[in-house]
Amino acid sequence: HTIGTDFVTTEISITVEESSDFQHILKEQLKKWNAQIAESNIKKKNDMVKYQLLLKVPKNIEFDEILDFIDENSVVKNFESHFPY
């Protein structure tokens, strides 16, 4: 979805092993993507945490950027994204 001409919205869902460091890691990654959180839903179950985020970003997040993020963070067990068409 396009918001004006400055941003697109992107939905991401990240499931991670519970980690005290991950929230900081996620905040830093969102800064790299110049992303603003429009909506969020965070669920914890057992030792896993699922972050469902609706982001406003200046451009779509590239597939290689997602792969790099997963490779750099071993706690990430699942990453789903839904981009506008």
Per-residue pLDDT at 34 = 94
Per-residue pLDDT at 14 = 96
Per-residue pLDDT at 8 = 86
Per-residue pLDDT at 59 = 85
Per-residue pLDDT at 83 = 67
Per-residue pLDDT at 2 = 47
Strands 76-82, 7-17: pairing is: antiparallel
Determine the residue type at 14. Answer: I
Per-residue pLDDT at 84 = 62
Interatomic CA distance for residues 1 and 83, integer angstroms: 8
In the predicted model, residues of the chain with pLDDT beneath 50 are 1-3
Are the beta carbons of 85 and 10 closer than 8 angstroms? no
Are the beta carbons of 1 and 8 closer than 8 angstroms? yes
